[in-house]
Amino acid sequence: MTETDREPQFYLCSCFTTDNIFLHDYKLHVRYVSGQQFRRDYQKLLLRLGCVLDQQFEDVLKKVSQEVDRRRQLAVTSAERAAAIKRMYQPLHHHVYRLQETYLTSEFKQLVEYCRSRNANKEGLLLLLKVAAPRVYRLPVFEKHFCEELVEELEHFEQSSAPTGRPNTMNHYGIPLNELGFDEGFVTPLREQYLQPITSLLYPDCGGHSLDSHKAFVVKYALKEDLDLSYHYDNAEITLNVSLGKEFTDGNLYFGDMRQVPISETECTEVEHEVTTGLLHRGQHMHGALPVSGGQRWNLVVWMRASQERNRLCPMCNRRPSLVEGEGFADGFTKHTDGLLNTTCVLT
Ligand SMILES: O=C(O)CCC(=O)C(=O)O
Ligand SMILES: [Fe+2]
């Protein structure tokens, strides 16, 4: 095998262990390098947000340093969990781990067919799609039966004794799908064969034509579990979010503006989750989820990454990424520098 045949190695940016640590109780993202820096940067702000007692501040500090430790150990603990799952977990529906055309709706397949055709263009594609909010598109992705079987599989996993990691740094409930073995046979072909033809036309300015990795997970909302999700942007160039069910009330998404614009200056658009359909949006498009008021909401989220874009500027710290080794696709950075100069993500 020559150097060019080999799969690229993917990296994290070192900011993963210092930046964007989310404090749920204060709805605040913080940076942590040391206790001293944290006190200096956040004690006054936290006081204004209601963190008045010394003990409360100490509790925050403890939570933050635990989260930093979790992130530092994530590559190792995630690989250990994946190995344990492989060893001990017996899937209920083996077939859902391998993408099949029958899982996809005929509208979705037609849409992809159009995008693959020689004369395809954005205007033509927009005639086949629903616009849910500015530059947010609704796609009829999966058949209902497939969504039901996937949720059954994930519930079966949840109820097993196999270890589960957190889906991302903000949601507490859900499942990282790479640890269950969904990447190779399901998410990678979905991204490469079906989503990339669409994103190439819709988001050529944000790496839509050069997606080369992803992080996929399911999020789960229910009373007594996570109810909502604060306003944020994703560690992704483009995100697909598909509603899998089950039955739920409320829990709409809302979209604001790009991340430079504060929410106070933004008119948000609310978008309903419709079971079986997906919402496609730019990772840097700020969004959040309103609380569910009943039932269970399961969503498949695929954060798609384009190393060509993120190698120039890490979307999480806004600096040139400083590469750290990680597991699998890590956070989608590579050492390759080809094509670095030919695209810029225009923020509109
Ligand atoms: O709750 C949702 O559907 C949104 C999830 C989301 O925004 C994310 O995981 O990045
Ligand atoms: Fe998100």
Please give the tally of structural domains in the chain: 1
User: Tell me: the pLDDT tens digits for 112-163?
Assistant: 999 999 999 999 999 999 999 999 999 999 999 999 999 999 999 999 999 9
Q: Quick check: pTM over 0.90?
A: yes
Assess if residue 83 is contained within a domain.
Answer: yes
In the block, residue with structure tokens 């799969």: 7
Of all atoms in ligand 1, which is nearest to the CA of residue 299?
A: 3
Which three-class secondary structure state does DSSP give residue 207? coil
- pLDDT, residue 260, reads 76
User: Tell me: the pLDDT tens digits for 176-218?
Assistant: 999 999 999 999 999 999 999 999 999 999 999 999 999 999 9
User: What does the alpha-carbon distance between residue 227 and residue 244 come to, in Å, rounded to a whole number?
Assistant: 16
Ligand nearest to the CA of 286: 2
Assess if residue 92 is contained within a domain.
Answer: yes
Extract the runs of DSSP E, i.e. beta strands, from 194-344.
213-222, 229-232, 238-245, 248-250, 253-258, 269-271, 277-282, 285-289, 292-305, 323-325
Ligand nearest to the CA of 300: 1
Q: How far is the CA of 236 from the centre of ligand 2 (A)?
A: 9
Assess if residue 6 is contained within a domain.
Answer: no
- pLDDT, residue 262, reads 75
Assess if residue 14 is contained within a domain.
Answer: no
Pocket test for ligand 1, best of 214, 220, 240, 241 (most atoms within 8 A of CB): 241
Pocket test for ligand 1, best of 175, 177, 253 (most atoms within 8 A of CB): 253
Ligand nearest to the CA of 301: 1
Assess if residue 245 is contained within a domain.
Answer: yes
Residue 316 has pLDDT above 60, yes or no: yes
| CATH classification at residue 234 | 2.60.120.620
Pocket test for ligand 1, best of 287, 302, 304 (most atoms within 8 A of CB): 287
- pLDDT, residue 348, reads 44
Helices of type H across 15-158: 35-48, 54-72, 74-88, 106-116, 122-128, 144-158
Residue 187 structural domain: 73-305
Q: Provide residues with CB under 6 Å of ligand 1.
A: 168, 219, 229, 234, 241, 253, 287, 289, 299, 301
Nearest CA owner, ligand 1 atom 9: 301
Nearest CA owner, ligand 1 atom 10: 234
Assess if residue 164 is contained within a domain.
Answer: yes
User: Exposed, middle or buried, 249 (CB in 10 Å: 0-12/13-18/19+)?
Assistant: exposed
